[in-house]
Amino acid sequence: MTVTERPFDLLNKSISKQVLIRLKNNSEIRGKVTSFDVHMNIVLDGAEEVEDGGSVKSKLGTILLRGGNILFISPVL
């Protein structure tokens, strides 16, 4: 039997973990997920804007990303 997880189940597993988020304007934000809601608005702590290759472009601190601006969310290994 195959168990299919829902997107919010995966987001719930990401609480307190580092993720990389790409936004519609092609910028990438890395930070620790502290919370999210049903609209996929996500609060990140220790957020940083990163460039290709992972170098830090700017430190953002604690931020709220609007779910409608998010293209994808990926775990940081």
13 lies in some domain: yes
- With bands split at pLDDT 50, 70 and 90, how would you rate the model's confidence at 37? very high
Does residue 1 lie in a domain region?
no
Owning domain of residue 35: 7-75
Instruction: Using pLDDT thresholds of 50, 70 and 90, give the confidence band for residue 54.
Output: confident
pLDDT value at position 47? 97
Domain count for the chain: 1
Ordered alpha helix ranges (H), the chain: 7-13
Distances (CA, A) of 40 to 9, 43, 61: 12, 10, 19
